Amino acid sequence: MLELKNISVNKGAFSLKSINFTVEKGDYFILLGVSGAGKSMVLETIAGLVIPDSGQVMLNQRDITHEKIQHRRIGLVFQDHAVFPHMTVAENVGYPLHGKHFPHSERNLKVKNIAEKMGIGSLLSRKPATLSGGELQRIALARTLIQEPLILLLDEPLASMDTHLREELRKLLRGLNKNGQTIIHVTHDYEEAISLGNKIAVIHDGEILQSGTPEEIFQNPKSGFIAHFTGVKNFFNVSAANEQNQATVLINNRISVCLPGECTSGTGYLMIRAEDILLSLHRLDSSAINNFEGVVKELIPSRSGIEVLVDIGVVIHALITRESMVHLSLEEGKTIWISFKATSLRFIPS
Amino acid sequence: MVNELKFSLLHSIFLLLGALVLLFILSPLLGMFLATSPVSLFDTAKEPEVRQSIWLTIWISMATTLFFAIAAVPLSYLLARKSFPLKKLITGIIDLPVVIPHSAAGIAILGFVSRNSILGKMGSLIGLDFVGAPAGIAVAMAFVSIPYLINAARDGFLGVPERLEKAALTLGASPVRVFFTISLPLAWRNIVSGLILMFARGMSEFGAVAIVAYHPMVTPVLIYERFGAFGLKYARPVSVLFILITLTLFILLRYLAKEKNSESSKR
């Protein structure tokens, strides 16, 4: 549907270097990177606000690199919402319909419908100055969606929102995507990326370092930066269930791991930090309720110690000190026990 | 404690100096008002020459402001939004009329609009005379007052976040629509302020207008004429009357602009 081919932009302090990626219809595509990585510039290039020095933006096999912004049918929601302060909510939401030969009554109906859908139906006559960040975000979304964009671009839509609002908006975005809306979402938060995206591209210093499914990115980070940025070695696609007030997740439908308390059933991602995993020669009688026997597959020296890869049916990464390795006489092929506390696990529903 | 004392002492000195400045501005005006009897004011207001002159001054300045705003406001937008070669020089040129003596400006304009100049010849083709005519007064007023509008409008456009204009573009609006629905309304307060300033500056202009068109007499020229011919006593009532009328007009315009703004922000 959308393809960026070798996009390069040079704007003094900011630049994009040969950006390539493809977004298919119905994708929820996440552009993940730290601030200043060039994420917003990629969005502005797709929207037409930035014209690349070289490369092409293709939309449905059509070159739109130099097409006028207003003819692209690409909706962009800015990080600061960019709600027009001198207009009411209704005027803001209805803005894209003016000059499009809609009868007045039809326009009002459309505004009302989308406002109801976004949960801002009661705010239509209000001015933006009196509204909260969450409400402004919904207005900006409604205003963009009313023009039925082919692609919805979101610039850090969940930043500066409290947890409750964030969860609500995530639900809303998931729903939009489920109904077929193609979305490109820019964020610096890898949890947000995992919980929403079906494809992720990691961008750093104006370059795409890696792109693929969340599993591909988090399980096989192609560069040290991604591994460091995501910071997660043990990353699994899991299904969760609650049994007798105890949540468990199944890794690869085989390995059952206990989570603290209850959780929402369904699929998601499980993360365990390598430094939270204990290695022992015998099964430990401790407070850790997850204990597995496995075989040492590989020992990798790293800056922070020794990374031990243990096969328990899936490969688990554990990080220990050199002293511990000597003390346990670890070597490849040795049988060993691993244990970790349920509270050290992170489950992110997808 | 010592700091507070020092601070309040400093403030007292500032207050005293400030009061002196205020007194300096107000006392000549108050002196003039007190020296003018209501009867003489009333008699002056009845004089057709005075009434015609005040009316002429107001309408020419207003028409000039509106006419030149059509070109000045778009120029302000360009200055606020675009970067181009020699932009600093252009900004300097715009401020030029403020710094040069207005009699010198009048001489320059006279050469520019005289019957032998290109503009003068073009004007006479369509029956428009500049020298000694309302059109000449308008040109002189505009020359000295247009920087006030351009600078105020430019500051207004600078205050409009560019992101709002970009957002409007992504919402399918053409650049023309973006200008009229986003940039202009959001910069409106400053533009109105600039229009009022330009209008006020135009009305009060004497030097340039007197050289380009002594007749028909705008009120500042009439005041000068009466002073020269009859002395202070005869110039005073016209001055007081003109000040009263212009002040009322400005207060009214400011009030209307404020009302409109607060109304639109309340909606």
Question: Interface pTM (ipTM) of the complex?
Answer: 0.79
Whether the CB of A103 is below 8 Å from some CB of chain B: the reply is no
Least confident of A30-39, A259-268, B78-87, B224-233: A259-268
What is the dotted CATH code of the domain comprising A234-349? 2.40.50.100
Q: Is residue A327 within 8 Å of A294, Cβ to Cβ?
A: no
Query: Is the bond into A157 cis (omega within 30 degrees of 0)?
Result: no
- Distance set, CA A4 to CA A1, A11, A122 (Å): 10, 18, 40
For chain A, the domains span 2-230, 234-349
Number of H helices, E strands in chain A: 9, 20
Go through chain B and tell me how many residues it has.
Answer: 267
**Alpha carbon of B78: minimum distance to chain A alpha carbons (Å):** 18
Average pLDDT of span B155-176 = 93
* pLDDT, tens digit (0-9, with 9 covering 90-100), for A61-119: 899 988 888 888 899 999 889 999 999 999 999 999 987 777 888 888 999 999 998 88
Chain B's closest residue to A147, CA to CA, is B171
**Does pLDDT of A304 surpass 80?**
no
Taking the domain A2-230, which CATH number applies? 3.40.50.300
Tell me the shortest Cα–Cα distance from A69 to chain B, in angstroms.
6
Q: Rounded to an integer, what distance in angstroms lies between the CA atom of residue A316 and that of residue A295? A: 10
State the smallest CA–CA distance between residue A198 and chain B in angstroms: 26
Select the residue of A47, A85, A100 nearest B170 (Cβ to Cβ).
A47
A292 in contact with chain B, both atoms CB, cutoff 8 A = no
Q: In chain A, what residues touch B166 (CB-CB under 8 Å)?
A: 44, 49, 78, 82
Q: What is the pLDDT at residue A38?
A: 84
Once rounded to an integer, what is the mean pLDDT over residues B16-41? 93
B264 pLDDT more than 60: no
Q: Please state, in angstroms and rounded to a whole number, the distance separating the CA atoms of residues A57 and A66.
A: 9
User: Mean pLDDT throughout A243-263?
Assistant: 76
Give the residue from A155, A176, A180 showing the smallest Cα distance to A44. Answer: A155
Residue from the list A69, A70, A88 with its beta carbon closest to the beta carbon of B267: A88
pLDDT at residue B267 above 50? no
> Which position has the higher pLDDT, B91 or A13?
B91
Average confidence score pLDDT of chain B: 90
User: Given a cut of 70, is residue B6 above it in pLDDT?
Assistant: no
Average pLDDT for residues A292-307, to the nearest whole number? 85
- Helix (H) / strand (E) element for A327: namely helix A322-327
CA torsion, ordered A226, A232, A236, A242, to nearest 10 deg = -140
Per-residue confidence (pLDDT) for residue B188, from 0 to 100: 92
Does pLDDT of B71 surpass 70? yes
Least confident of A107-116, A213-222, B39-48: A213-222
Q: A96–B267: do the CB atoms touch at under 8 Å? A: no
**pLDDT value, residue A23:** 92
CB contact under 8 A, A69 and B185: no
pLDDT of residue A104: 84
Find the mean pLDDT for residues B83-109.
91
CA distance B113 to B138: 11
The Cα–Cα gap between A47 and A72 comes to 7
**Same-fold call for A2-230 versus A234-349:** no
Residues from chain A that touch B184, judged by Cβ atoms under 8 A, are none
Q: Which domains does chain B have, with CATH numbers?
A: 69-216 (1.10.3720.10)
